[in-house]
Structure 1
């Protein structure tokens, strides 16, 4: 077992004392290691071809090149080579404006550009309730949160809380409970399910419904302001949210159901993330904190719905999804109520307890396919989602930005926000192959402390763990989405607040930020805004 742990870990910077873990957390870490042990054995490798423990796509010469180019930075007097092009050759250099997240990858072919535009049209189109004269757009709901993908992923960017209005289109409440019986626990352990829905309301609260049907209720957020004093006397007010459901349309929620708020993630660079070799993600995992640095990132192992095989989760707030296709299918079903080959639920998230919902007509058109979003539709949506370009960096040679980058390293932020990877040489699309990319994420699960805990288990992720989100494009949030709300529920109103909410494994980095001078903090924020 120790050899497996040693194999997975890599040296990290920092000498912080590791945070003590509860017995439950220790058992969880051991379970994760056992899961990875199963993955890394030769026998299991045959059952899990998508999760090799070493890079099997490179020659020794190429592997040496990759290791050299992805080494952590040591010289902060100037930008690193290729740092401007944070999305590799697909990086868009178009003028920075509100459309900065909506450009296609710069290195796709002319023919692929046409496919991208068709996918964009589907991503933006409003679905309608059945029956209607449109037919190809039938199938909305019957219960839903949005009418179009673009309604949640505003300008292909970041969602936000319903600030000052009732509009919660780009944010919803995930509903789930942990396993209760031995049978349920086994279903989670074998990756057959991620968790269990509310018996009446399903997997998420839907605040909209088609005509003639009651919605499920509305999300309510109550904020409490919490002043935090930094070491230099600066006072920053953090807002602590409390969530509840107003006017539940189908009776009370189950007492075991937890509420987890989620805002929509930006769409840029997803195809590149999908082509990071699993071995490079697993190399950063240290589930038992074997090196004692207080950082114990865990890999999320999930089951690919289409293939039925185990895979490495890398998408979603808790890394609960292995592929963009699956993420798209889940969102269509849960958010809009549209069925697909992966999730053939024609009534969306309606449960057996919601008979009126199940009595509604569906949008399935036999001449088009046996689901509301049949194979051709899913191919276009997936291609579009895989090829939204990452914008080029800005101000990378500015002294303040370079100083902020040094602070980012010195404070230990790179322990989770891994700066760079080189994608697979054998990626299905040449546009994604062998690209040096700078997502600033390790795509692992980390305990983020009590303050950010949602109490909701999602597969191997417990109620304290979240996937490290990529940071590329974060500095353009205001320009694209007209807001600066960050974290999984948008509670942080700016980047400073987002950093100060970090706890758990990130407590040390957060405390170093709080102890820094105003100049150093401003430099760090300047660096983040350049991404």
Structure 2
């Protein structure tokens, strides 16, 4: 392998948009970039700049605490930090029902899952399933997606053209809202039952996995459609999202192999979804099944569906209320002329999106530690990087100057993979089928307990540790999972040390 020059690596790690041309890389740069992002085969030492997983945008905060995911991009100019703080204030805003004296913060619901973005994305980190079922606990940072198979030719045509990802359940909409404002009935309560399943590892250690079963109790608006499909989702961490948005589409698609042409058992597929702002089909990048193309659309759909707030790309003033919920549709709303006829203006969504794009990835911990390096070798050689692609160089023409031309280490390919029957939700979303999930980024995963006080992973938080999360892998990841099962104790502990260093 020809090692790239230190000066070029420094350029990637330090350079931001205004310092260079917005044109694409030169042929020489492209060749060097290809060399830089090629997975290493040297595990005797950390790679250059590996300690900075987001390049110059890596958080400058070095002390570890509950605010480790709430820092702005490390290369952000002082002038732009004001927008970040304004976005943070809107992200934390507690919305109230209409009418209210606070006419810039009213319009909650009438049906909703949380009163603020922060209530789901706790400390900008990872949500979790409830400790117990309602009424003993609530599911604020987790909810159920709902949909049905298409029933009309129009619905089938919309799905085929990627104009819609799903057909919402006709009475309850696209997700179960378990809260409501005064005078309205909540839609219902998520109910989870776990069954323990033991897995014996090669060294004799027994790990118990919990298999969840989901149902809905206390239905507020009558029976569900007989063919309803439910998918549980915990709120994912918010760090590094602008950098993921700034990876060139061709770089993501270069890893796609939908027909497994190379015969390695890995068949990454791109999700294609409707970009409302562009009015065209685009690559899906965000959400557990890559159902959203941009952070603006992701943020808009979240504030509309989770909180019930209307915005330019989601104009329904009653959020996810359906035609079967007349009281909800007729309730007062907070739309006003000062907000362009919505409850949240385009400027408010711009600030929330800017904040979301610039939540910084923390620096690595101990990347030179011998056990961490040994675990990195296990991670690479077990085949985990076939989906969790280690690194990219973002585009010069990125979503913001902070994201421009950075060497980043997210450990994801942003593609859909069949994860086996064990993790299947049996609910399609766009081109994703009921067994496919987008590869989640791993950066920051080792700080979950520090930030959020738990170690619950996967789309529904069923895994109570990183080891449990690995053991749930099936389908395209079955071979990699089986290699982990076969590891000796010291190798497995090294693998977990590597993951916890990310």
> 1:38 — aligned with what?
none
Among 168, 171, 195, the alignment partner of 1:224 is 195
What secondary structure sits across from 1:100 in the alignment? coil
CA-to-aligned-CA distance 1:119-166 (integer Å, 9 cap, x gap): 000000100000011010001000000000000000000000001342
> 1:91 — aligned with what?
58
> 2:27 — aligned with what?
60
> 2:281 — aligned with what?
310
> 1:193 — aligned with what?
164
Q: Tell me, in whole angstroms, the C-alpha distance in 1 between the residues paired with 2:314 and 2:158.
A: 19
CA-to-aligned-CA distance 1:473-526 (integer Å, 9 cap, x gap): 000000000000000000000000000000000000000000111111110010
> 2:417 — aligned with what?
446
> 1:73 — aligned with what?
40
CA-to-aligned-CA distance 1:86-107 (integer Å, 9 cap, x gap): 0110101311111000000011
Q: Tell me, in whole angstroms, the C-alpha distance in 1 between the residues paired with 2:247 and 2:398.
A: 9
The question of whether the paired residues in 2 share the 8 Å contact of 1:285 and 1:297 is answered with yes
> 1:301 — aligned with what?
272
The question of whether the paired residues in 1 share the 8 Å contact of 2:163 and 2:281 is answered with no
Q: Tell me, in whole angstroms, the C-alpha distance in 2 between the residues paired with 1:77 and 1:419.
A: 17
Give the TM-score, by structure 1 length: 0.89
TM-superposed deviation, 1:185: 2.1
The question of whether the paired residues in 1 share the 8 Å contact of 2:473 and 2:481 is answered with yes
> 1:35 — aligned with what?
none
The question of whether the paired residues in 2 share the 8 Å contact of 1:270 and 1:324 is answered with yes
The question of whether the paired residues in 2 share the 8 Å contact of 1:143 and 1:209 is answered with yes
What secondary structure sits across from 1:367 in the alignment? helix
In the TM superposition, 1:117-516 aligns within 5 A as 117-164=85-132, 165-516=136-487
Q: Tell me, in whole angstroms, the C-alpha distance in 1 between the residues paired with 2:152 and 2:226.
A: 16
The question of whether the paired residues in 2 share the 8 Å contact of 1:130 and 1:140 is answered with yes
> 2:10 — aligned with what?
none
Aligned Cα root-mean-square deviation (Å): 1.1
Q: Tell me, in whole angstroms, the C-alpha distance in 1 between the residues paired with 2:230 and 2:399.
A: 38
In 2 relative to 1, CA 56–292 (structure 1 residues): closer, same or farther, beyond 3 Å?
Answer: farther
| Deviates most, 423-432 or 68-77 | 423-432
Q: Tell me, in whole angstroms, the C-alpha distance in 2 between the residues paired with 1:309 and 1:367.
A: 29
CA-to-aligned-CA distance 1:26-78 (integer Å, 9 cap, x gap): xxxxxxxxxxxxxxxxxxxxxxxxxxxxx982211211121111011110000
Q: Tell me, in whole angstroms, the C-alpha distance in 2 between the residues paired with 1:441 and 1:264.
A: 18
What secondary structure sits across from 2:168 in the alignment? coil
The question of whether the paired residues in 1 share the 8 Å contact of 2:23 and 2:397 is answered with no
What secondary structure sits across from 1:221 in the alignment? strand
Structure 1 spans left out of the alignment, 5+ residues: 1-54
Q: Tell me, in whole angstroms, the C-alpha distance in 2 between the residues paired with 1:458 and 1:125.
A: 30
Q: Tell me, in whole angstroms, the C-alpha distance in 2 between the residues paired with 1:368 and 1:343.
A: 13
Q: Tell me, in whole angstroms, the C-alpha distance in 2 between the residues paired with 1:493 and 1:452.
A: 15
TM-superposed deviation, 1:180: 3.5
| Deviates most, 425-434 or 199-208 | 425-434
TM-superposed deviation, 1:365: 1.6
In 2 relative to 1, CA 56–234 (structure 1 residues): closer, same or farther, beyond 3 Å?
Answer: farther
The question of whether the paired residues in 1 share the 8 Å contact of 2:423 and 2:472 is answered with yes
What secondary structure sits across from 1:222 in the alignment? strand
> 1:103 — aligned with what?
71
Q: How many residues align?
A: 477
The question of whether the paired residues in 2 share the 8 Å contact of 1:177 and 1:457 is answered with no
What secondary structure sits across from 1:311 in the alignment? strand
Q: Tell me, in whole angstroms, the C-alpha distance in 1 between the residues paired with 2:232 and 2:482.
A: 26
Structure 2 spans left out of the alignment, 5+ residues: 1-21
What secondary structure sits across from 2:338 in the alignment? coil
| Divergent runs of 4+, >6 A | none
TM-superposed deviation, 1:274: 0.3
> 1:6 — aligned with what?
none
The question of whether the paired residues in 1 share the 8 Å contact of 2:245 and 2:399 is answered with no
TM-superposed deviation, 1:367: 2.7
TM-superposed deviation, 1:178: 2.4
What secondary structure sits across from 2:220 in the alignment? coil
The question of whether the paired residues in 2 share the 8 Å contact of 1:178 and 1:456 is answered with no
TM-superposed deviation, 1:181: 3.7
Q: Tell me, in whole angstroms, the C-alpha distance in 2 between the residues paired with 1:352 and 1:242.
A: 29
> 1:41 — aligned with what?
none
Q: Tell me, in whole angstroms, the C-alpha distance in 2 between the residues paired with 1:155 and 1:166.
A: 20
Q: Tell me, in whole angstroms, the C-alpha distance in 1 between the residues paired with 2:339 and 2:165.
A: 31
The question of whether the paired residues in 1 share the 8 Å contact of 2:419 and 2:475 is answered with yes
